Amino acid sequence: MGTRKASKDADRRIGRRALLIGGAAAAAGTAALARDELGRLWWRVPGVEKPRKEGEVDYTGARWVAASDANWRRADRPDDYGIDMVVIHVTQGSFDSAVKVFQDPEHGAASHYIVRKDGHITQMIRELDVAYHAGNRDYNERSIGIEHAGFVERASSFTDEMYEASARLTARICARYDIPLDREHIIGHVEVPGTDHTDPGTHWDWDRYMRLVRKAGTGAA
């Protein structure tokens, strides 16, 4: 989350172009693009929806608390958008305040997970859905966002329990989607193109975190 809110994605409806496959879409390139869009959006057509169970989590041990519908959009990942990245955030506030703002429809942003100082993990958005967490639509569509409760300017925010729990979560996500365990695919919010956020900040120990992720990854593969 960092110091400012992430931007919302603009589209929430099936575009006319996606429905006009063939016919008026005479040009091969246009038709191919339309087919691709429709392939991603077929389940948004009335009467078609991916089966879901209320309160279901993607990570064993996580507690489910739903974010506001205004802070994410339905998807069918990785079938419609491939997942190849994990984005690390810091909330710039307490765990409780992060949960509260992610439930606020006026906030305009939320991450899939929040990790507390004691290692507790709450999931607020399903991994198959697109969370508005990165401030970049492309990165939102292709990533999982993990918030860490605390402040970028306080090294004390990042406890052993937090590092270890978050590393296990990231390793499991990467194993699920075959994401390489490296810094090109596990990045900070500050590294997202176009962002003005600074998290996770200079006190986040990337070397330590990546060692823990790779260690956890040996058991998650």
**41-90 residue pLDDT tens:** 555 554 456 678 889 999 999 999 999 999 999 999 999 999 999 999 99
Distances (CA, A) of 180 to 184, 218, 220: 8, 12, 13
Q: Is the Cβ–Cβ distance between 203 and 154 less than 8 Å?
A: yes
Least Cα distance to 170 among 57, 59, 73 occurs for 59
Long-range CB pairs of 49-55 (<8 Å, 24+ gap) are 50/76, 50/128, 52/126
pTM score, whole prediction: 0.81
Block mean pLDDT (10 aa), the chain, length 221: 50 33 40 51 55 91 97 94 98 97 97 98 97 97 98 97 98 98 98 94 98 90 50
CB neighbours of residue 166 within 10 Å: 24
Q: What are the domain boundaries of the chain?
A: 63-220
- One CATH from 3.40.80.10, 2.60.130.10, 3.40.1010.10, 3.30.70.60 for 63-220: 3.40.80.10
Q: Is the Cβ–Cβ distance between 13 and 41 less than 8 Å?
A: no
Residue 50 in tokens: 């991916």
Looking at residue 127, its pLDDT comes to 97
